[in-house]
């Protein structure tokens, strides 16, 4: 009889910690109203279009949180460096001064990402201070020691922890030494960087340039403790990519694509390859590439009146004019008259014939007497509107400002209004039985390379299906869903109006931030709008300020774009993998991705089996990226995103993993290419020149290399779907008699999670889970001092259980694993 294969879903995760609601301060905008435009026939444009990318450095995550909460746009391209966080801010000259006032270091334009001088290895480093190990029992553990090469240069990356790491006085120093290969001695001592996040010691770490691959490292702590570790390879020996297969076709995308182009190509692919492709339409239309027509008129400060049309600009709002009229005479009441789309407000006069209508009164009159043309009108920002309004000297045309194209915008008119997003579904068997993979690109509008990378991957699937065996295997064994742009409204705004747009186009702002000068700051950060570990639950990294770059929305899943993702994964429950593709940064993330700042309480850590599976998948995916042109995503940028970068409350990955058990990756493509000419890592940009330097920053090259990685993710999913093999595990050392206490740990032959007991009972899914010693470290070590029996079973990432044991049923077989460590002290 054929053995019944037992597979389970591993979702025995603890409930999320609820926390206090974190509130943020008011917008960083000027509340005085002193810059409000006077009536000039046209509302004044603000200066946000002059925003530019400015390299900055922050002392730590605390400052980052503050700066983001204040509404500054500094997401992405952020990098941990030994002395803090470096990145780029999208700011105006005025905002640069504000940043400096907050304690942000603004770097010169010529400063790229650079590690400290200590990183120049290979020769005897300076500052090699002698470390005196103390006699008490401080310990040092090495979490990672990775060797990799890129563009002819070797690098050693090390993470190590000391049990004294949190200690502040004195701060613990760690020295790293390496050998120069087998049977050579340790040397080249250097000081490691202490990494503290949200007040918590994380670990010490450094990236060092080295010319020869070391075999071992030694780490010594200033408070005692020394340990050695063996160096591993990171992405060395990358296998040849599919692009090297004979007849394999690639390089389909020849430039950036705006949403209309992406969607029309998706539909065309479905028509051309009906056997393996179709379109699935997402049910919630976007709120649209559209805005109300507006103007700020009537004076400055307390006299300014903000006017918004009831109709969208393209649906008549742009035809509305408003005029504030001074009439001859005295003792005249405030009144409004409407002719067609022209609104005339007849300003009140006092007994001596002076103008007498305040901004508040005029705003009220516009709302109530404009015959429905104006439905929102209020004083400027937080002003009380007590100033006397001045006549405009003629009609002022309201505008949605969407016709003001930015330099270099693509030809043609952009369709206004809500959009239905098509999902391109590719797979030979789209019956829900094959593992589904969701590729979701461009949540953030200005990130153009993720869209081209995803489209390139789709093209490769359909064009190579008939001719390439490996591609056929992918298409036959997976069910892929491409959302080529999940933020079409914002993306259009980025292409046509404001290149740095990050969020969608939905304006949730109250009057204080609803005037037209704020329009480039409206919108919801779609990747902060989800339900797990969200800002609404008190997690850090999402803002309640509607003009912040990380505005989380008025409530969880407030936006159609995020509702759609949940709809898709609920309708197609075979989706087991997800990649949220962003740029730029050269990072690959998973969970945990958010924490409550006070105490740094993260969302639950994935079980060790999932963690190992994530690492294994990441190595496969990133090896294929490297195979294209030697771009290395470094291990310090891989892992739980809140472990290696920052907390992003309410991101999509947390929701999909914790709610649905989907392996949910986040990817920052582009950026961080090692430049052998300068010896530095060079960061990328959101919209690099398409044909830029093919060895450094180029939209084309990034599209091709990261498409390699997405193709490998499909293979990971296909292999996962075919994995019917039980994992095996063992206790090391195992069964036996020992005269002394003994240190034991579990080992598995593949990524797998172990459930175990030590009290003789049968192990179940409620039993303790074998955990990591600490995050980013291998499994814990048990110090066994008395005779102990371990009962356990392991579950692999595909849900196969070792020996087909059924942990849910106490049947006669009870074929879990068991081992007894007998301590016979004699
Ligand atoms: Zn992004």
Three-state SS sequence of 663-711 = EEEEEEECCCEEECCCCEEECCCCCCCCCCCCCCCCHHHHHHHHHHHHH
- Residue bearing tokens 């936006």: 559
What is the structure's pLDDT at 50?
Answer: 56
Q: State in Å: Cα 454 to ligand 1 middle.
A: 14
Please report where in the chains the tokens 């997401």 appear, as a residue. 75
pLDDT for position 109: 43
Ligand 1 centroid to residue 465 C-alpha, Å? 31
Dump pLDDT digits (tens) for 388-438.
999 999 999 999 999 999 999 999 889 999 999 999 999 999 999 999 999
Half-sphere exposure of 61 (CA within 13 A, CB side): 25
Confidence of residue 51 (pLDDT cuts 50, 70, 90): low
Structure confidence at residue 82 (pLDDT): 59
* pLDDT score of 47 more than 50: no
Supply the pLDDT for residue 336: 97
> 301 CA distance to ligand 1 centroid (A)?
36
pLDDT of 27 > 80? The answer is no
Unique residue bearing structure tokens 């026939």 = 41
SS3 787: coil
Q: What is the C-alpha to C-alpha distance for residues 744 and 765, in angstroms, rounded to an integer?
A: 22
Cβ neighbours of 478 (radius 10 Å): 28
pLDDT digits (tens, 9 = 90+) for 159-183: 999 999 999 889 999 999 999 999 9
pLDDT in tens, 361-396: 999 999 999 999 999 999 999 999 999 999 999 999
For residue 349, the CA-to-ligand 1 centroid distance in Å is 54
- Please give the pLDDT value at position 209: 95
Report the pLDDT value the prediction gives residue 92, as an integer from 0 to 100: 72
pLDDT at 34 over 80: no
602: which 2 tokens? 């993260």
Centre a 10 Å sphere on the Cβ of residue 462 and count the other Cβ atoms it contains. 21
Gap from CA of 527 to ligand 1 centroid (Å): 8
Distance 278 CA to ligand 1 centre (A): 27
* Confidence at residue 78, expressed as pLDDT on a 0 to 100 scale: 73
Residue 7, pLDDT score: 53
Is the full-model pTM beyond 0.75? yes
Query: 427 vs 462, 566, 576, 710, CA distance in Å?
Result: 9, 21, 15, 15
* Residues facing 789 on adjacent strands: 820
Taking the C-alpha atoms of residue 205 and residue 751, their distance in angstroms, rounded to an integer, is 25
Q: Is the pLDDT of residue 191 over 70?
A: yes
Sign of CA dihedral 659, 661, 662, 663: positive
Among residues 85, 101, 112, the alpha carbon closest in space to that of 28 is found at 101
Distance 252 CA to ligand 1 centre (A): 24
- pLDDT value of residue 130: 28
Q: Residue 731, exposed/middle/buried by CB under 10 A (0-12, 13-18, 19+)?
A: buried
In this prediction, residue 1 carries a pLDDT of 36
Tokens of 541: 């990294």
Tell me the C-alpha distance between 510 and 496, whole Å. 26
- What digits encode the pLDDT tens for the residues 436-449? 999 999 999 999 99
Query: Do 36 and 380 contact (CB within 8 A), yes or no?
Result: yes
Res 562 pLDDT > 70: yes
CA atoms within 13 A on the CB side of 594: 32
Residue that is written with structure tokens 């746009």 in the block: 73
Helix (H) / strand (E) element for 362: namely helix 359-369
Residues comprising the chain, all counted: 826
Residue 745 CA, ligand 1 centroid: distance in Å: 39
Q: Kindly report, residue by residue over 616-656, the tens digit of the pLDDT.
A: 999 999 999 999 999 999 999 999 999 988 999 999 999 99
Round to whole Å and give the CA distance between 543 and 293. Answer: 27
Q: Calculate how far, in angstroms, residue 526's C-alpha sits from the geometric centre of ligand 1.
A: 9
pLDDT of 732 over the 90 cut: yes
Judge contact between 245 and 193, C-beta under 8 A: no
Instruction: Tell which wins on pLDDT, 128 or 257.
Output: 257
350-355: average pLDDT: 98
Lowest-confidence region among 221-225, 611-615, 729-733, 770-774: 221-225
Q: What percent of the chain has pLDDT over 70?
A: 89
Q: Are 637 and 588 in contact (CB under 8 A)?
A: yes
SS3 string, 749-766, reads CCCEEEEEECCCCCCCCC
What is residue 93's predicted lDDT score, i.e. its pLDDT?
74
> Residue 294 pLDDT more than 80?
yes
Categorize the per-residue pLDDT at 21 as very low, low, confident or very high, splitting at 50, 70 and 90: very low
With pLDDT > 90 as the criterion, what percentage of the chain qualifies? 80
| 736-757 pLDDT tens trace | 999 999 999 999 999 999 999 9
Question: Separation of 70 CA from ligand 1 center, angstroms?
Answer: 19
What's the rounded Cα separation, in Å, for the pair 594 and 586? 19
pLDDT in tens, 467-514: 999 999 999 999 999 999 999 999 999 999 999 999 999 999 999 999
Q: What is the pLDDT of residues 586-621, one digit of tens each?
A: 999 999 999 999 999 999 999 999 999 999 999 999
Q: What is the DSSP string of 607-642?
A: PHHHHHHHHHHHHHHHHHHHHHH-----GGGEEEHH
443 Cα–ligand 1 center, Å: 6
CA of 381 to the centre of ligand 1 (A): 29
Q: What is the pLDDT of residue 84?
A: 73
pLDDT tens profile 81-127: 656 777 777 777 778 888 888 888 887 643 333 333 333 322 222 22
| Higher pLDDT among residues 145 and 16, named by residue | 145
CA of 442 to the centre of ligand 1 (A): 7
């Amino acid at each position: 009889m054929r053995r019944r294969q037992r597979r389970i879903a591993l979702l025995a995760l603890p409930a999320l910690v609820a926390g206090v609601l974190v509130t943020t301060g008011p917008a960083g905008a000027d509340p005085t109203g002193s810059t409000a435009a006077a009536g000039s026939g046209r509302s004044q444009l603000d200066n946000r279009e002059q925003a530019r990318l400015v390299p900055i450095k922050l002392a730590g995550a605390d400052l980052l949180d503050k700066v983001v909460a204040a509404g500054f746009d500094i997401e992405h391209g952020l990098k941990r460096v030994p002395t803090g966080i470096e990145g780029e801010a999208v700011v105006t000259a005025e905002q640069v001064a504000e940043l400096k006032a907050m304690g942000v270091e603004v770097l010169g334009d010529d400063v790229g990402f650079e590690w400290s001088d200590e990183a120049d290895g290979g020769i005897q480093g300076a500052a090699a201070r002698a470390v005196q190990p103390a006699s008490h029992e401080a310990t040092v553990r090495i979490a990672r020691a990775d060797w990799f090469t890129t563009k002819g240069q070797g690098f050693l990356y090390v993470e190590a922890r000391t049990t004294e790491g949190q200690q502040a006085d004195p701060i613990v120093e760690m020295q790293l030494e390496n050998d120069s290969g087998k049977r050579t001695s340790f040397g080249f001592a250097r000081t490691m960087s202490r990494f503290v996040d949200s007040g918590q010691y994380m670990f010490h770490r450094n990236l060092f340039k080295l010319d020869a691959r070391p075999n071992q490292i030694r780490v010594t702590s200033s408070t005692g403790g020394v340990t050695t570790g063996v160096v591993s390879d990171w992405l060395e020996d990358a296998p040849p990519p599919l692009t090297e297969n004979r007849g394999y076709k690639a390089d389909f995308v020849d430039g950036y694509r705006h949403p209309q182009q992406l969607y029309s190509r998706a539909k065309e692919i479905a028509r051309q390859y009906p056997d393996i492709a179709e379109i699935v339409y997402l049910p919630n239309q976007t709120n649209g590439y559209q805005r109300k027509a507006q103007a700020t008129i009537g004076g400055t400060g307390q006299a300014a009146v903000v006017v918004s049309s009831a109709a969208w600009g393209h649906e008549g709002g742009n035809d509305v004019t408003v005029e504030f009229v001074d009439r001859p005479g005295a003792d005249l009441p405030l009144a409004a008259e409407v002719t067609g789309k022209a609104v005339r407000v007849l300003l009140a006069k006092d007994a001596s014939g002076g103008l007498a209508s305040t901004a508040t009164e005029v705003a009220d009159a516009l709302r109530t007497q404009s015959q429905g043309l104006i439905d929102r009108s209020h004083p400027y920002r937080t002003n009380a509107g007590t100033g006397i309004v001045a006549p405009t000297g003629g009609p002022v045309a309201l505008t949605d400002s969407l016709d003001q194209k930015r330099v270099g915008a693509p030809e043609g008119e952009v369709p206004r209004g809500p959009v239905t997003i098509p999902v391109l579904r590719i797979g030979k068997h789209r019956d829900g039985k094959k593992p589904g993979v969701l590729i979701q690109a461009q949540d953030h509008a200005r990130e153009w390379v993720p869209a081209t990378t995803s489209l390139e991957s789709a093209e490769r699937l359909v064009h190579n299906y008939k001719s390439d065996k490996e591609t056929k295997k992918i298409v036959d064994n997976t069910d892929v869903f491409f959302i080529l742009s999940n933020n079409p409204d914002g993306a259009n705004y980025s292409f046509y109006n404001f290149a740095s747009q990050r969020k969608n186009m939905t304006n949730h702002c109250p009057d204080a931030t609803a005037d037209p000068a704020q329009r480039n700051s409206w919108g919801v950060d779609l990747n902060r709008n989800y339900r797990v570990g969200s800002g609404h639950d008190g997690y850090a990294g999402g803002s309640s300020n509607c003009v912040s770059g990380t505005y989380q929305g008025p409530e969880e899943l407030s936006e159609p774009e995020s509702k759609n993702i949940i709809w898709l994964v609920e309708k197609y429950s075979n989706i087991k993998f997800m990649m949220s593709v962003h740029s730029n940064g050269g990072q690959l993330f998973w969970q945990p991705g958010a924490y409550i700042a006070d105490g740094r309480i993260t969302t639950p850590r994935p079980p060790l089996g999932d963690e190992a599976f994530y690492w294994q998948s990441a190595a496969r995916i990133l090896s294929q990226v490297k195979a294209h042109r030697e771009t290395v995503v470094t291990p310090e940028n891989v892992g739980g995103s809140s472990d290696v970068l920052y907390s992003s409350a309410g991101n999509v990955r947390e929701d999909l993993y914790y709610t649905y058990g989907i392996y949910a990756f986040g990817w920052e493509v582009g950026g961080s290419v090692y430049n052998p000419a300068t010896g530095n890592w060079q960061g990328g940009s959101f919209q690099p020149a398409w044909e830029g330097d093919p060895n450094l920053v180029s939209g084309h090259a990034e599209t091709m290399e990261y498409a390699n990685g997405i193709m490998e993710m499909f293979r990971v999913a296909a292999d996962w779907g075919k994995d019917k093999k039980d994992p095996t595990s063992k206790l090391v050392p195992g069964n036996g008699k020992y005269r002394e206490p003994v240190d034991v740990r579990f080992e598995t032959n593949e990524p797998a999670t172990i459930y175990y007991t030590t009290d003789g009972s049968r192990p179940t899914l409620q039993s303790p889970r074998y955990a990591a010693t600490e995050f980013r470290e291998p499994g814990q070590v048990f110090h066994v001092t008395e005779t102990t029996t371990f009962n356990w079973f392991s579950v692999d990432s595909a849900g196969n259980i070792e020996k087909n044991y059924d942990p849910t049923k106490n049947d006669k077989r009870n074929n879990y694993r068991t081992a007894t460590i007998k301590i016979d002290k004699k």
